Amino acid sequence: MRARRAAVFLLVVAAQVALAQSPYYPAQAWERRSPAQEGIDPVELQAAIDFAVSKESTYPRDLLEAHYQTFGREPFGYAIGPLKPRGDMTGLVIRHGYIVAEWGEPARIDMTFSVTKSFLSSVAGVALERGLIRSLDDPVYRYVPPVQVYRPAAAGDKSDRFGGSDFIEPFETPHNRKITWEHLLRQTSDWEGTLWGKPDWADRPSATPAEWKTRKRAEPGTTYKYNDVRVNALALALLEVWRKPLPQVLREEVMDPIGASSRWRWYGYENSYVVLDGQVVQSVTGGGHWGGGMFIDAFDMARFGYLTLRGGRWKERQVLPAQWVRMALTPTPVQPDYGFMNWYNNRDGKLVPSAPRSAFMHLGNGTNAIYVDPEHDLVVVLRWIQTPAIDGFVKRLLGALQGP
């Protein structure tokens, strides 16, 4: 009897130790703790927050105005997706899974620009796990049929548009047939073409207009260029693979399992509708370059960041494949700080010099950032901060830590 009681006692102790060591995952209501409870000096933390607030983005609050001061000045730069005014400089600090600081308007729904790309690449990761994509080395053209663009009936009949194609085939040029999923995810495809009225060369065009339409294409995988037309080509390809709207895929496969709210929205463009299995479906964007993308609050951004901190796991469920998270953080040979869109790693210390080399970020214009620090068990959301100030904030935050 004593031996049995001793065995039971040891099992209970082991379970308690395992429970104590297992990470906390927030329920629908996210638990808050004081900074001191989680080993952070509250005075120094407040100094870091004050620094961040003092470095609010210089972008106009009206993001339509901001657009036409920046991307809108490019060729074909007019906005074709929704834009909305932004809020205050806002942030959250998550330590050991608990909210220890929040400021600004973390519950406000705002554009998150290219942080959207991390959600998009996650949809690709789940498709790979499900076998919808057999290998990232596969050419994308093998997965994408001719795509019928939805065009509301115009006056007249089809004969009035004689000679025009009913379909687009975004991966059917000799160059584009070489492009793999890996190339698209790493922004090394040099995809050529026009999608949703935006030519690939019109996104961040070179200073030499004569080469915009005549430049020789680089072999896929050999050069890197951040290009939202190509990101949108990936989104369209994934829509054809999943055969249902990507926001629905993201909700079912990622956001609902991690307890995100029902308030986020993922938009495309006013002209990015296709006919898919007899239904009209919008192909979403991978950012807000011409409007659209994810409109989301800081709490849901933090949940996604916490998912990636935990290697894609949420409680008992592996939401994102662990191998996918490792691949997403693997440096792109021709752009070492970039993994899969939009996972930026800090392995060379250039992204955030004050942070550990194991830290990484999901980063978007604005600046919107999810800073993930496995070494210190931290997730930070920063919205509408000047990009150079991110390192200053992180330096001050890490200086406030008093324990592991």
Question: pLDDT tens digits for 176-206?
Answer: 999 999 999 999 999 999 999 999 999 999 9
Q: Examine the domain organization and report whether 67 and 207 are in the same domain.
A: no
Q: In CATH, what number is assigned to the domain containing residue 306?
A: 3.40.710
Q: How do beta strands 279-284 and 293-296 pair?
A: unpaired
Is residue 123 in some structural domain? no
CA distance 233 to 268: 12
DSSP state of 254: I
287: Cβ–Cβ under 8 A, 6 or more apart, which residues? 113, 114, 116, 117, 228, 231, 293, 364, 365
Q: Residue 317: inside a domain, yes or no?
A: yes
pLDDT for 336-364, tens place per residue?
A: 999 999 999 999 999 999 999 999 999 99
β pairing state of 265-276 and 194-195: unpaired
Please measure the distance between the N-terminal and C-terminal CA atoms of the chain and give it in whole angstroms: 41
253 part of a folded domain: no
Q: What is the pLDDT of residue 154?
A: 65
> How confident is the model at residue 151, as a pLDDT?
86
Q: Answer yes or no: do 363 and 233 share one domain.
A: no
Q: What is the pLDDT of residue 14?
A: 38
- Residue 361 to residues 90, 118, 365: CA-CA distances in angstroms? 17, 10, 13
Q: Does the residue 251 lie in any domain?
A: no
Query: Average pLDDT, stretch 275-299?
Result: 97
Whether residues 232 and 345 share a domain: the answer is no
In a domain, 10, yes or no: no
The contacts of residue 107 (CB under 8 Å, 6+ apart) are 297, 298, 299
24 is a domain residue: no
Measured CA to CA, the distance from residue 281 to residue 207 in angstroms comes to: 36
Same domain, 175 and 270: yes
Residues 164 and 274 in one domain: yes
How many structural domains are present in the chain? 2
Task: Give the number of residues written for the chain.
Answer: 404
- Which residue among 232, 254, 284 closes a domain? 284
Considering the domain architecture, whether residues 171 and 242 belong to the same structural domain is answered as yes
Residue bearing the bigger pLDDT, 22 or 396: 396
Write down the pLDDT at residue 352: 97
pLDDT band at 155 (very low <50, low <70, confident <90, very high): low
Rounded distance between C-alpha atoms, residue 196 and residue 80, angstroms: 9
- Residues 391, 404: Cα–Cα separation, whole Å: 20
Residue 13 has pLDDT above 70, yes or no: no
- pLDDT-derived band at 158, boundaries 50, 70, 90: low
Task: Indicate if 356 and 316 belong to the same structural domain.
Answer: yes
| pLDDT (0 to 100) of residue 163 | 66
- Once rounded to an integer, what is the mean pLDDT over residues 247-267? 98
191 & 332 share domain: no
- Of residues 163 and 273, more confidence is placed in 273
Give domain status of residue 320, yes or no.
yes
Contact 65, 394 (CB under 8 A): no
Is the residue at 91 inside a domain?
A: yes
Clarify whether residues 168 and 273 are in a common domain. Answer: yes
Same domain? For 193 and 111 the reply is no
Are residue 234 and residue 360 in the same domain, yes or no?
no
* pTM for the predicted model, two decimal places: 0.93
CB distance 185 to 144 below 8 Å: no
Half-sphere exposure of 325 (CA within 13 A, CB side): 19
Domain hosting residue 339, numbered range = 30-116+292-399
Return the SS3 of 236: helix
